[in-house]
Amino acid sequence: MSNEANERALEEGIVTDLRGRMTYGSYLDLDRLLGAQHPVSVPEHHDEMLFIIQHQTTELWLKLMLHELGRARDLLAADDLREALKPIARVKHIQDVITRQWSVLATLTPTEYAQFRGFLGNASGFQSVQYRGVEFALGNKNEKMLSLFRSHPENLALLTAEWERPTLYDEFLRLVARRGLPVPASVLERDVRLPYRETPELIPVIREVYENPHEHWELYEACEELVDVEDNFQFWRFRHLRTVSRTIGMKKGTGGSTGVDFLQRALSLTFFPELYSVRTEIGR
C-alpha cells in the first residue's frame, strides 16, 4: 500500500487564506487561553501542567454551570417549567464531565505531587469563587464566605449577587405555589440569603406531587431532575474526597483546611432536603 492512500487531501472549498477573517483560534481566544498555564515549581515539574489544566477546565465548566443555573431560575420565575428543565439537564451533563475528570488528576501520585505542592503556597480550590457561586445558587449559602473575596471586588460582586438571589429550589417552590399547591408561607417568604433549611410542613406538598404524578407530571419530573442534580453534586464531592485522600492522605489542605476531614463533612450538606425526606413517607 502506498503512503498516498493514507493521506487525506484538502477539499477545494476549504478556506486556507485566513488573513483578516474570524478563525477558530481568534473566536476562542486560544492565544490567551493556551498561554494561561504558568507553572511555578522550580525547576518546573512535569506534572504541574496536569494540575493546572485540571483546575482550569473545571473552572470553565463551573462558569457554564452558573450560566445555566441563572437561566433555569429566570425560566422558573417566568413560569416556564418545561423550558427550565433544559438548562437543568445541561447542568447534569456538566456535573458528569467534571466528576469523571477526577480520574485524570488521580494519575498524579503522592510522590509526584509532593515535588511541587510546596510551591503552591496557600492557593486552594477552597478559594474558587465560581464553586461557591454554584453552591449558593443551589442553596448552600454562607455569608462568611463573602469575606474570603473582599480583596477581589469582581469576585465579591459575583458571589454577593448569588448570595442575594433566590436559589434554584426557591424559584421551583415558588412555581409550585403558583400551580396551586399549599407551599408554606415560611418557605415562600424566607430570607433567600440564608442557607436553605428543611421545612417539615413542605413534605406533604412534595408527597402530593409524587403520589399523583399524572396530575402534576411536570412538577414530578422536575423534582426528579433536582434529585439528579443533588446526587451528581454528591458524587463530585465524594470523588474529590477520594482523589485528595489518595494524593495527600490526611495532610492539611494548602488553603489551611483539615483536608480530607473537611471534605468528608461536606458530604452531609444537602440542597433539596424535602425531596429526600418524602421518600420515607411515600407508601406509608
Annotated binding-site residue? 52: yes
Provide the residue type at 54 as one letter. Answer: Q
Measure the CA angle with vertex 77, ends 74 and 82; round to 5°: 80
Annotated binding-site residue? 38: no
Q: How far is CA 199 from the centre of its chain?
A: 25
Q: How far is CA 59 from the centre of its chain?
A: 9
Annotated binding-site residue? 117: yes
Q: How far is CA 217 from the centre of its chain?
A: 27
Annotated binding-site residue? 27: no
- Integer CA distances (angstroms), 53 to 9, 83, 247, in order: 34, 33, 17
Q: Which residues, including other chains, have CB under 8 Å from residue 82's CB and lie 6 or more apart? A: 218
| Cα 277 from Cα 11, distance rounded (Å) | 60
| Cα 110 from Cα 121, distance rounded (Å) | 17
| Cα 267 from Cα 265, distance rounded (Å) | 5
Q: How far is CA 5 from the centre of its chain?
A: 46
Annotated binding-site residue? 152: no
Annotated binding-site residue? 55: yes
Annotated binding-site residue? 113: yes
Annotated binding-site residue? 14: no
Annotated binding-site residue? 160: no
CA-CA-CA-CA dihedral for 261, 197, 58, 125, to nearest 10? -40
Residue numbers in the known binding site for substrate are: 51-55, 113, 117, 254
Which residues are known binding-site members? Answer: 51-55, 113, 117, 240, 254
Name the binding residues for heme.
Answer: 240
